[in-house]
Amino acid sequence: MTVTADARTDLDRTRFYIDGEWVEPRGTETHRAVEAATGELLGTASLGTDADIDAAVRAARHALDEGPWGRTTPAERAGYMRRFAAALSARAEGTSTLVSRENGMPITLSTAFNGAAPAGLLHMFADIAENLVFEEARPSPQGASIVRREPVGVVGAITPWNYPQVLAMFKIAPALAAGCTIVLKPSPETALDSYIFGDAATEAGLPPGVLNIVLAGREAGQSLVTHPLVDKIAFTGSTAAGRIIGAECGRLIRRCTLELGGKSAAIFCDDGDVDTLLRGLGTASFMNNAQTCTTQSRILVARSRYDEVVDAVAQYCRDQVVGNPLDTSTTIGPMASSTHLDRVLGYIDVGRSSSARLVTGGGRPAGQDRGWFVEPTVFADVDNNDRLAREEVFGPVMAMIPFDGDDDAVRIANDSNYGLGGSVWSVDEDRATDIARRVRTGTIGVNRYDIDLGAPFGGMKDSGIGRELGPEGINNYLEYKSMYVSAKHLS
């Protein structure tokens, strides 16, 4: 489709949400948001400059230091958060559809993760805020110490395109609960949906400057990382970008949480049940078209069951419904962009040029002439040293690897720079749980893989630093202060 330079749609977002208002951008650069399933224009969004980031940070700093937010009680913050959740819930259907159009996420999954989950996280962290003791007195040899939990300050939240609403709320909800203020910089690949947060925040009466939203590219994003009035960076994205952000935060002695890439392993034991594996592959290996950081794209199989499982996984891929993400029967939608499609197809070429065996897939699906579709693909006999086993593809390309015994499986699973997700499949749950304990990864499932929003989430090794979610998630946004006082404070 050819689109003229001045084309406009009703989804355009040409202003930024700063200090509780929709403000004009300082620059003129824009991003054209294109529908993943069709390649057609969805809308145009302005891209921020360093000046826009600076205005947003200063608004957040003022709201914390001089505005009402810095004086709120946990109960007051919880009230704002619940109203914010209600405003998001009222928009959930439209939000879910918009994200599916932007990045190709199947609508059923989008309804859960972009429609329901953000409001659920706000409610969860509102409850945490109300029940957390923010100040307590403890006995000390000289009298007492008052231990305070205080907000870390202004948070720069940098979020990716694959789960744009819920991954932003991984950061927004605990930051609000802790009493922080936020500048959100979403990815241009999902340029339009993030501003729904601004609409909902206004409806909820969130004080000006508490949440600010500026869409921007990498250069302006870097200015958020280095801004002198920012106290913490919370980033989800690639390991390559995480290294740069982490290095800068280290130089500045700035707190950071990094949730990065993965190359996770699913371990299928010699006593595993194939039907159980096939029922679980949707969330373990193919969730969101395998555009998920926890995707278990290395499928390790006991050698005695190897051919059987390779055939079963290949047939599973052939049975998938690849199509329009807005159709509820679709199980695999398009890649998020033409650039990302090229990346995935490039890794398929890498597999073809290796000693691995292409079992199924390997190209564009028949009949899908528009949009960024790719066939679910399986390579067998992959060596764990191959690029296909070492590097994150971020698409539906599976590497099947045989192993000999539990120790060998653990060795191969751990022979990776990453450690974010994983799973173990065995009819003996105790055996599988023992194997799971030995895999060096931040999350792992036994006979399933479903992220629990109430448990800590994050990675080891090159998969990141810190944990989000669960009651522990608020700790990323708190500083501890010890006040040495007299014993009278103990009464």
Would you please indicate which residues are annotated as catalytic (active-site) residues? 259
Give dist(CA 5, CA 71) in Å, integer.
Answer: 47
Question: At residue 104, what is the residue type?
Answer: G
- Helical spans, DSSP H, in 132-267: 164-178, 196-204, 218-226, 239-252
| DSSP string over 191-216 | TTGGGHHHHHHHHHTPPTTSEEE---
Give one word for 289, left, alpha or beta, with left for phi > 0 and alpha for psi -120 to 50: left
Please give the radius of gyration of the chain, using alpha carbons only, rounded to the nearest integer: 23
- For residues 180 and 153, the answer to whether their CB atoms sit within 8 Å is yes
Q: CB neighbours of 319 closer than 8 A, spacing ≥ 6?
A: none
- For residues 421 and 446, the answer to whether their CB atoms sit within 8 Å is no
Torsion sign, CA atoms 429, 408, 399, 459: positive
Give dist(CA 313, CA 361) in Å, integer.
Answer: 12
- For residues 342 and 357, the answer to whether their CB atoms sit within 8 Å is no
Which residues are bridge partners to 183 per DSSP?
156, 212
- Residue in the block written with tokens 């398929």: 348
**β-bridge pairing 143-151 and 135-140:** antiparallel
**β-bridge pairing 422-425 and 445-446:** parallel
Q: CB neighbours of 375 closer than 8 A, spacing ≥ 6?
A: 317, 322, 360, 361, 362, 363, 364, 365, 396
Give dist(CA 70, CA 179) in Å, integer.
Answer: 7
Map residue 465 onto helix, strand or coil.
strand
How far CA 191 is from CA of 141, 171, 268, 380, 439, in Å, comes to: 56, 18, 39, 37, 37
Provide the terminal-to-terminal Cα distance of the chain, rounded to the nearest Å.
73
272 alpha-carbon distance from chain centroid:
30
Question: At residue 179, what is the residue type?
Answer: G
